[in-house]
Structure 1
Amino acid sequence: MYIVGVDIGKNNHEATIIDDTGSIIGKSIKFTNSHNGGNKLIEHIKKYTRNSKVIFGLEATGHYWLSLYSFLMTKGYEINVINPIQSDSFRNLYIRKTKNDTKDSFIIAEVIRFGKFTNTKLCDDKILALRQLCRYKLSLTTEISELKCRITTVLDQIFPEYNKLFSDIWGVSSKAVLEKCQTPEGILKLSINDLTELLKTKSKGRLGFNKAEEIQNAAKNTFGIKIAKEAFKFQIKQLISQILFLEKQMKSLDSEIEFYYNQFNSHLTTIPGIGFVTAAIILSEIGDIKRFKNSSSLVAYAGIDPTVKQSGQFVSNNNKMSKRGSPYLRRALFLAASTCVLHDSPLNKYYNKKRNEGKHHLVAVGATANKLTRIVFAVMRDKRDYTPIN
């Protein structure tokens, strides 16, 4: 039997062949991430292994391994995909801690030879599609947040009083005002009646003349800078347009996510604080729950398990969260836990219990996220609605 370790790169990969004793066979080979490169790899392997069994080991480096994985699957090879953390730990066994492509591909092969690894498997089409859409949504959410921060920075310079005029400056009414008139001067050019009508329409009658008058008075007496106003106006107009466009995209994206999510018999939305989007993210990141032998394994995969520091009789009581698992799953669980603590539920009681013990808010939320993950595991394992235990 031969093992081929492959160090994954964006455009080029490097492979090293070893036998079942750990001896390197031939020289390592560098090949491109293409059909020609894949065929070059196969020819190189057959040259040394002939008709013997060949097992591949790849690192799950970003998304760059997927194309090679798919190529080797079509060729009928057995492939093991490992987490880079596992090969990093193995590298520490060597006295000379060199790091290069040849050395890395050898270490990956050695990890497979010793069999001390957890295999990462490519999920089915529906889960992969859902995961792709959910991660895209998270990236859009981050992009919108960054745009909002940039607008806030500009408003702080030209109209510092604006953020006190609305309870939420990113609400429908406030965005409508910014879209129509981006500066204090633009607001003053708008008649009080037109501004009143705009606010009434966007707020569905909640805001009216009094708010319009308050906004114009603030614009009239603003302490904002008076120079380069046209440049600031242009910038806000562009940024607002980008936000509105992305928010429109987000609505159609949510519909697409819901379409894929509804194809699974998932019960995650029965857990307090978890809506369909959060449920979709959690489901897509976990995939097949059978991959995890217990709830602690899932907690570790999410990276919300505490690190343990112990030496001799010393045991640290100031342990931090490992944060070594899926950042997407961890983010979704934290958001869900933050929502759970606002509702009357067992998780809210658990959060309050931690707070009464003197825990910081974020520590208590982290503990709640840990407990929530165990509930998620049970709901997905049993394939039934969440039922709180009295």
Structure 2
Amino acid sequence: MKIVNQLFVGIDVGSRNNAVYLMKPDGEKHSSFRMQNNRGGAKMLTERIVSAIQSQGLEGVVIGMEATSIYGDSLVYALREDGKLGQYPRKIHVLNPKLVNKFKESYPELPKNDDVDAFVIADKLRFGRIGKEVYMDDYRYKALQTLTRARFYAVQDLTREKQRFANYLFLKCSGLAQDKDIANTSATTLALMERFETVDELAFADLDELTAFIDEKGRNFADPAAKAKAIQAAARNSYRLPVTVNNSVNQAMAVSIATMRALEKQIKVLDKAIEQQFKIIPNTLTSIPGIGKVYSAGIIAEICDIHRFQSQASVAKFAGLVWTQHQSGEFEAQDRKLIKSGNRFLRYYLLEAANSVRRCDSEFRRYYDLKYKEVNKHQHKRALALTARKLVRLVFRLLKDNRLYKPPEG
């Protein structure tokens, strides 16, 4: 049953201080003030909210704040755990900043300051059409989310570092960087760059010694001698750097290699922590071939309770796996882009999971191949996004029905 007689509280969150606006049910101002973004400030806020509810004879409260990195998380915990506030019906919303900004456009000539933003948030709450409140009933999801998001950032850092190393590799040994059969950041390539100071040392190294070195570092080459010859040929065709420049590139490469190895170690540590935390959350996603515990955890950490979503389409929209539409009259564009909004963490784990599942499941592999052949550009990116969209439907149904995945026959 909807409560009409309630207080609306808009909070503009900052790293040090929060601006608060308390609005009556009819839209009139009750009060506005600032509070420190700490435990004492949260206690003062709840006391003022309770006082306003009591003095105005209200029945409950709706609290809203913008999603501002991690600065509002602790405040949400404090508001949910406060016993005085808990005696009243209350809802807590963490709003998308784009939603607030769009609503703010309906107020012409408003000044830009934190007090005004708090007012706009409170009035947005009063008008409604916000969706479900922030989900923090089960802190297991938040604990898992902290780990999966940390892993996401570590993977992004590793990707950027690999690109930096690839640039250094081109400077030192351009032929090796250009060879498609030699991975730029493979263990063998890293070992070669550490072992040989200059490209000439690599190009004219003893072939038998180089073969033995590659066989030891690579460990999976069917013909290490042929690989050694290919590497030397690439080195001989490479540009030569001045000695001073070459020395600086070596130093930069050494730092980059150390960074990549440290990040890879961090990711392994996070993977173990994720798997450990994931054990206490029942799920059926790991029954999908190829999805694995880490990707399943990343998906569930963002979705939380599947019953928050009415349909698989709402999950896809939440993840940003829906496409913009460009239509005018009878014309409709064929080259459409994914919407820019959505949960980037959920989208990342769905895309990674889809890429893994399509290698292990015949139905997803067939679907990916079909979508790949439909166009002549962006084949993999498009096919993978569509495969992830297909995966959303499966994820929603498995979690909603609490059942295991049954691969298609044949």
Report the TM range for the smaller structure's normalisation. Answer: 0.7 to 0.9
Which structure 1 residue ranges, 5 or more long, are not aligned? none
When residues 264 and 227 of structure 1 are mapped into structure 2, their CA distance, relative to the original with a 3 A threshold, is same
- The answer to whether structure 1 residue 329 and structure 2 residue 340 are counterparts is no
Which amino acid letter does the alignment assign opposite residue 147 of structure 1?
Answer: E
* Shift in alpha-carbon separation, 1:243–1:111, aligned structure 2, 3 A: same
Query: After the TM superposition, which residues 149-188 of structure 1 pair with which residues of structure 2 at under 5 Å, given as runs?
Result: 149-163=163-177, 164=179, 166-185=181-200, 187=202
Question: What secondary structure, in the 3-state scheme, does the structure 2 residue paired with 1:130 have?
Answer: helix
Partner of 2:63: 56
SS at match of 2:129: coil
User: Could you give the per-residue CA deviations for residues 42-92 of structure 1, whole angstroms, max 9, x where no partner exists?
Assistant: 455466554554442222222211111122223233341132233233323
Aligned match of 1:2 in 7, 14, 25? 7
Residue aligning to 1:380: 399
Report the Cα offset of residue 37 of structure 1.
Answer: 2.6
Q: 2:38 aligns with which of 28, 31, 34?
A: 34
Shift of 1:156: 1.2
Identify if the C-alpha distance between structure 1 residues 125 and 179 changes in structure 2 by more than 3 Å, giving closer, same or farther: farther
1:305-320 alignment runs, 5 A limit: 305-308=322-325, 316-318=332-334, 319-320=336-337
Local SS of the residue matching 1:161: helix
1:114 alignment counterpart = 127
In the alignment, is the contact (CA less than 8 A) between 1:154 and 1:232 conserved in 2?
A: yes
Deviates more, 1:181-190 or 1:245-254: 181-190
Do 2:290 and 2:361's aligned partners in 1 also have CA atoms closer than 8 Å? no
The letter of the residue matching 1:232 is V
1:294 matched to 2:308 = no
Distance 2:109 2:407 in 1: 53
Alpha-carbon offset, residue 160 of structure 1: 0.5
Helix, strand or coil for the counterpart of 1:4?
strand
Q: Which moved more, 1:70-79 or 1:246-255?
A: 70-79
Aligned to 2:146: 132
Q: Which residue of 1 aligns with 2:159?
A: 145
Q: Does 1:13 align with 2:28?
A: no
Which residue pairs with 1:203 in the alignment?
218
**DSSP-derived class of the 2:130 partner:** coil
Distance 1:357 1:237, change over 3 A: closer
C-alpha separation between the residues in 1 aligned to 2:281 and 2:402? 11
Q: Distance in 1 between matches of 2:324 and 2:226?
A: 55
In 1, Cα distance between equivalents of 2:403 and 2:18: 44
Letter in 2 for 1:34: N
Larger deviation: 62-71 or 289-298?
62-71
CA–CA separation in structure 2 for the residues paired with 1:357 and 1:348: 15
Deviation at 1:14, TM superposition (A): 0.4
1:22 corresponds in structure 2 to 27
User: Given the superposition, is the C-alpha separation of residues 321 and 46 from structure 1 closer, same or farther in structure 2, using an over 3 Å criterion?
Assistant: same
What is the TM-score normalised by the length of structure 1?
0.87
Residue 115 of structure 2 aligns with which residue?
A: 102
* Preserved CA contact (<8 Å) 2:169 2:184: no
Taking only the aligned residue pairs, the percentage that are identical comes to 29
Deviation by residue 1:160-201 (Cα, 9 ceiling, x = unmatched): 112328532322222222233353255479765553333222
Secondary structure, aligned partner of 2:174: coil
Structure 2 counterpart of 1:251, from 268, 293, 302: 268
The alpha carbon displacement at 1:243 in A equals 1.1
Aligned residues: 388
C-alpha distance in structure 2 between counterparts of 1:217 and 1:310, whole Å: 53
Q: Distance in 2 between matches of 1:20 and 1:272?
A: 52
Q: Which amino acid aligns with 1:333?
A: L
- CA separation of 1:8 and 1:201: change in aligned 2, threshold 3 A: same
Q: Deviations over 1:238-280 (max 9, x none)?
A: 1111111221222222112122223333221332442222112
Pick from 81, 89, 103: which aligns with 1:90? 103
Q: Deviations over 1:205-242 (max 9, x none)?
A: 63544434553454456323223221111111111111
Contact 1:5 1:17 in 2 (8 A): yes
Stretch moving more, 135-144 or 162-171: 162-171
Structure 1 position 74 matched with structure 2 position 81: yes
1:215 to 202, 222, 231: 231
Query: Gapped runs of 5+ residues in structure 2?
Result: 1-5
| 1:19, distance to aligned residue in structure 2 (A) | 0.7
Distance in 1, matches of 2:62 and 2:304, equals 25
Q: Indicate the larger mover: 327-336 or 98-107.
A: 98-107
* Distance in 2 of aligned mates of 1:301 and 1:346: 25
CA distance in 1, matches of 2:41, 2:299: 36
Q: Distance in 2 between matches of 1:220 and 1:353?
A: 42
